[in-house]
Amino acid sequence: MKVSLFQQAPYRHLPKDFEKHHDSVVTTPYFDIVKPGLMNQDLNAFISELMLGARLGFDGVAVTEHSQSSYDVVPNPNLIGSILAYMTEQEKLDVAIAVVGRSLGKSREPLRIAEEYAMIDQISGGRLIAGFPIGLSYDANQNAGIPPIETRDRYYEGRALVEKAWSAKEPFAWNGRFSKYPSVNLWPRPVQQPKPPSWVPAVGNPKTMQGVLERDDVYTYLSWFGPKLTGKRIFDRYWEIAQKLGKDINPHRLAFLQVVLVAETDEQAEKDYRQHLETHFRTSLGSIPPTGLGLPGYIERPGVEGLMRDPGDLGLAVRMRNINYSELVDSRVAIIGSPETVRQQITEFVKEFRVGNLLVMTQVGSMPHELTEKNIRLFAKEVLPHIQKIWDDEGWDNFAWPERLRKKKLKPDTTAA
């Protein structure tokens, strides 16, 4: 199994009563909340934490995109991806650079995304994983002003343009519904031809799942709710569609995001992380207005039908603003505890749902830099070597991993530990 360190970049110093007075997206008052100097501190800590993971033996480092958001202040993750690509290349760290969020559904310049991704692939020497999310409704429709009904059509057109621009041998004209270019001739092109491996972050829309499988992309479930609450309904659906399409059950077709917090003992984990974990969920997902997750027209008909049949896809979203530590741990929205507890719980759900690519989120909410580094170090030393071996005995080809890295064994920098 491939295990990547996934980070968002929250402002870590929100007021204690934030969720009582503010939404976390679109309308959050920046100057009323952000203290001078602390945003700079948080962003540099965010990059340092990702580099620590790269040095300690994670298979990849991963970032995503959110705009006008207090819980992730990265409007263009390619800025961070390029930093990570350069630093890891200079340090000879063979880790994947996974930019799992760069929304084509909201972009008015899809060719810019193609160019940025190609640059990262070149800087990294062919280590990019290219993420293609449709885009969250609050971001694509409220922030970017894209009509909800256009979001998915823009995504499909933009995806076709990006992939043709990467591999076309001659300049070509593009006369799309949303984008028109007299001449497309990308410089540079990606190292990985005809395209870097593609991951598609999504929720539970059956149509999206089918498209991912038909294209041999990786279905990337960026879970806020953990495997216990939504895993079975989401992944059973995914593998059933795969079977209908005649696809194999290669676990590398699936990526999953999980919050993981490790301490010396279960009791110490609660002492270390309780406050920060509650803050994270209450002030991020819990403070997004429900309308921001799906304005009318944003979800296609099959997705609406799926939600009507099984509203459980929404998990605990409606209760996140007031959720407590016990609920988060009992439901495994977050996996927290000693290394033994964490290893056991991760192994259990990974094998049950056939997860071949695990994204581990090690910083949440108000967690300071020092505590985040402790979590990363403990995970890398006590958990990572055990779970990376999952699926080795089945011999699957990880077709959606950068080719340069598929057969290389990473050598962690033990001096960083």
- Which tens digits make up the pLDDT trace of 260-297? 999 999 999 999 999 999 999 888 888 887 777 766 76
pLDDT over 60 at 369, yes or no: yes
Burial of residue 110 (CB within 10 Å: 0-12, 13-18, 19+) is buried
Burial of residue 321 (CB within 10 Å: 0-12, 13-18, 19+) is middle
Q: Residue 401: inside a domain, yes or no?
A: yes
Instruction: Give phi and psi for 91, each to the nearest 5.
Output: -90, 5
Full domain range(s) for residue 129: 2-409
- Which tens digits make up the pLDDT trace of 121-173? 999 999 999 999 988 888 888 888 899 999 999 999 999 999 999 999 999 99
Give the DSSP letter of residue 66: -
Could you tell me if 241 and 234 are in contact, meaning their C-beta atoms sit under 8 angstroms apart? no
When the pLDDT of each residue in the chain is averaged and rounded to a whole number, the result is: 91
Q: Residue 417: inside a domain, yes or no?
A: no
pLDDT over 60 at 406, yes or no: yes
Query: According to the model, what pLDDT value does residue 373 have?
Result: 98
> Of 339, 337, 321, 338, which Cα lies nearest the Cα of 329?
337
pTM of the model: 0.92
Q: Residue 120: inside a domain, yes or no?
A: yes
Query: According to the model, what pLDDT value does residue 410 have?
Result: 43
Could you tell me if 231 and 353 are in contact, meaning their C-beta atoms sit under 8 angstroms apart? yes
In degrees to the nearest 10, what's the CA dihedral of 235, 241, 244, 250?
-50
Distance CA 50, CA 48 (A): 5
pLDDT over 50 at 218, yes or no: yes
Peptide bond into 148 cis (omega under 30): no
Query: According to the model, what pLDDT value does residue 303 have?
Result: 58
Q: Residue 231: inside a domain, yes or no?
A: yes
Q: Residue 251: inside a domain, yes or no?
A: yes
Q: Residue 415: inside a domain, yes or no?
A: no
Average pLDDT over residues 204-214: 90
- Which tens digits make up the pLDDT trace of 34-63? 998 999 999 999 999 999 999 999 999 999
The helix/strand/coil state of 16 is: coil
Average pLDDT over residues 338-362: 97
Indicate the number of domains in the chain. Answer: 1
Distance CA 246, CA 225 (A): 29
pLDDT over 60 at 409, yes or no: no
pLDDT over 70 at 374, yes or no: yes
Report the share of the chain in percent with pLDDT over 70: 91
> Of 102, 58, 59, which Cα lies nearest the Cα of 80?
102
Q: Residue 257: inside a domain, yes or no?
A: yes
Query: According to the model, what pLDDT value does residue 314 have?
Result: 52
Distance CA 275, CA 269 (A): 11
Q: Residue 414: inside a domain, yes or no?
A: no
pLDDT band at 12 (very low <50, low <70, confident <90, very high): very high
Query: According to the model, what pLDDT value does residue 228 have?
Result: 82
Could you tell me if 2 and 356 are in contact, meaning their C-beta atoms sit under 8 angstroms apart? yes
pLDDT band at 14 (very low <50, low <70, confident <90, very high): very high
Residue with tokens 């193609």: 114
Residue with tokens 């991020």: 284
> Of 30, 59, 43, which Cα lies nearest the Cα of 389?
59
Query: According to the model, what pLDDT value does residue 288 have?
Result: 85
Residue by residue, DSSP assigns 302-342 as HHHHHHHH-GGGGTTGGGGGG--HHHHHHTTSEEEESHHHH
CATH number at residue 267: 3.20.20.30
